Structure 1
Amino acid sequence: MHRRLLWTVPPVAVLTLLFLYPLALVVQQSVQPDTGGTSLQPYADVFASEAFRHALWTTVWLALASTVGCLVLGFALSLVIAFVPFPGAKAVARFIDVYLSFPSFLITLALLFIYGTTGIIGSFQFLTTPWGVLLAEITYFTPFVIRPLLAAFAQLDTAQLEAAGSLGARPLRIVRRVILPEAVPALAAGGSLVLVLCLNEFGIVLFTGAKGVTTLPMLVYSKAILESDYPGACVVAVVNVSISVGLYGLYRVVSLRAGA
């Protein structure tokens, strides 16, 4: 028992040093206004600002819309890769593994060559709008849904599909009655991951140059770097972290009750 406790000391120490201690400093700074002392006035000022409410709403709707788009597109692409025989299917599946290692700004930079002001169809200036940010996030985060779906489909008993097909079931009915129930846990896992990542995404919004799109991470950046309002930036950061942790806790509760 004592040996097990000793083995937990190094990872806990590293976690405390690299994550918990900096997070504690952010929380501490959020209650220390520039005038000195300890006060909740920075929270009151931030919550009362129109910029914060707009950034919160933009962050939430972009994250939700991106998650829905990734789930729909990821499920459709996973069905094609896993069940529709075509040359290079295995290569595509391997490429998705490599794609997951790409930084988000790299994908956004590639989209700039198409939708940017000097891109192929740049006259539309599509990428600098909220819909352009939404497209970039769906493009980047969809593989985070595809990967767990492909793993789930690999464990699916093909005999069920053959039996359903022999009984005259149409492809859509097979997908709805046989494949989709098996894919629900993978969809939940991938969708939860995408939702949390979209809530905290910074690089895509920054590289698209969408001036009218301000999310919570962008608000942290602007307050800290452009306005030198460090207490305000820490308040927004605390709110952003609280939302992410709250969503993760909700996911854990729901998954445990569902027996996942």
Structure 2
Amino acid sequence: MTAVLETPAAPAESPAPRRSLRPILWTLPPVLVVLFMAVYPIMRVLWESTTTKDGGRGAGTWTSVLAEQSVRNALWRTVTIAVSSTIGCLLLGTFLAIVLAFIPFPGSQLVGRLIDTVLTLPSFLVTLAFTFLYGTAGAVNALIEKLTGSGEPALNFLSTPWGVIFAEITFFTPFVVRPLLAAFAQLPREQLDVASSLGATPWRVLRQVVLPEAWPALAAGGSLVLLLTLNEFGIVLFTGAKGVITLPALIYTRGIVTFDLPGAAVLASVQVLLSLTLYLGYRLLFARLTSTRQES
């Protein structure tokens, strides 16, 4: 009598999981908002920049606008002022953050609150205060004239690129101070105490212990300041620096004063390209710093 071995029945295939449309429905509204508020204006500007003088489409407006010497001067001046202001903000902001974080003094909390207050002010208000202080008829010049008896204003730099750089450093330095203070707050005090107990000087502790931990915050603050100063218009306008024509000021002149919308669109496209290039550079730098810290 032979036994018949029954082969086990193949397990029934489980039905494929049904794809839910709920994630897509939740993602769709923010994507539409971004497309409407960011992508559409940029595409509209790019489309307007292709309008030629005869009403057609082509690259003639780009060629004529970029060939102008005033545009190249404005572009170079914009980059120069932005880089100079960023360097000044990094130096001053690092100094202020180190003093506030590691050198306590009476009134340090008040200084920190004042720095936070500057972040809430519009840029033109700081520039207006500079006019009252350092303008040709400002308080500082009036005091100097009273002390020296001179009839000529001793300070007359607000209408120069240095005046714009000075005003931007004053306004944008808190954007460097705040990330650095947050980074310094995460630094273990025991690490500083160990370095000091081993005989390291304060400068060596700062250079080898404090600053390496603050590089990501410093890069983030510096990139933000560079992006803001690259697109700053209010400070340039309110300083009254007629000879300091930056790219945003030139866009305003083309679009509002002379009503050259295609030319203004070309300059705006260049401005957008600069901003996007800076943002991509910041992302690459931040990713590299993050990977280096994780490897170490």
Contact preservation (8 Å) 2:127, 2:239 = yes
Q: Aligned partner of 2:215: which letter?
A: V
In structure 1, what is the equivalent of residue 197 of structure 2?
166
- TM-score by length of structure 2 reads 0.85
Contact preservation (8 Å) 2:86, 2:222 = yes
What percentage of residue pairs aligned between the two structures are identical? 55
1:26-65 correspondence runs (5 A): 26-65=45-84
In structure 1, what is the equivalent of residue 113 of structure 2?
94
Superposition deviation, residue 10 in structure 1? 1.5
CA distance in 2, matches of 1:19, 1:251: 20
CA distance in 2, matches of 1:45, 1:91: 53
In structure 2, what is the equivalent of residue 186 of structure 1?
217
Look up the SS of the partner of 1:228 in the other structure: coil
Superposition deviation, residue 257 in structure 1? 3.0
Contact preservation (8 Å) 2:51, 2:57 = yes
CA distance in 1, matches of 2:285, 2:94: 22
In the alignment, which of 223, 234, 237 is matched to residue 265 of structure 2? 234
CA distance in 2, matches of 1:216, 1:180: 34
Cα 1:95/1:8, change in 2 over 3 Å: farther
Please say if 1:197 is aligned against 2:228: yes
Worse-superposed segment, 204-213 or 87-96: 87-96
Q: Aligned partner of 1:162: which letter?
A: D
- TM-score by length of structure 1 reads 0.96
In structure 1, what is the equivalent of residue 10 of structure 2?
none
In the alignment, which of 180, 188, 192 is matched to residue 149 of structure 1? 180
Worse-superposed segment, 249-258 or 47-56: 249-258
Q: Which runs of 5+ in 1 are unaligned?
A: none
Q: Aligned partner of 1:120: which letter?
A: A
Q: What do residues 195-229 of structure 1 show as CA deviations (whole Å, max 9, x unaligned)?
A: 01111000000000111111110010111122211
Superposition deviation, residue 92 in structure 1? 2.4
Look up the SS of the partner of 2:243 in the other structure: coil
More helix by share: 1
Q: Which runs of 5+ in 2 are unaligned?
A: 1-19, 142-152, 292-296
Q: Aligned partner of 1:148: which letter?
A: P
CA distance in 2, matches of 1:84, 1:4: 50
Look up the SS of the partner of 2:237 in the other structure: helix
Superposition deviation, residue 33 in structure 1? 2.1
In the alignment, which of 24, 35, 49 is matched to residue 5 of structure 1? 24
Look up the SS of the partner of 1:197 in the other structure: helix
Superposition deviation, residue 94 in structure 1? 3.0
Superposition deviation, residue 247 in structure 1? 1.0
* RMSD of equivalent CA atoms: 1.3
Matched pairs, number: 260
Q: Aligned partner of 1:198: which letter?
A: T
In the alignment, which of 41, 44, 47 is matched to residue 22 of structure 1? 41
Worse-superposed segment, 109-118 or 130-139: 109-118
Superposition deviation, residue 107 in structure 1? 0.8
CA distance in 2, matches of 1:121, 1:227: 37
Contact preservation (8 Å) 2:254, 2:263 = yes
1:122-137 correspondence runs (5 A): 122=141, 123=153, 124-137=155-168
Cα 1:48/1:67, change in 2 over 3 Å: same
* Larger Cα-atom Rg: 2
Look up the SS of the partner of 1:258 in the other structure: helix
Look up the SS of the partner of 1:246 in the other structure: helix
Look up the SS of the partner of 1:169 in the other structure: coil
CA distance in 2, matches of 1:258, 1:174: 20
In the alignment, which of 96, 103, 120 is matched to residue 84 of structure 1? 103
Q: Aligned partner of 2:111: which letter?
A: V
Look up the SS of the partner of 1:121 in the other structure: helix
Superposition deviation, residue 69 in structure 1? 0.6
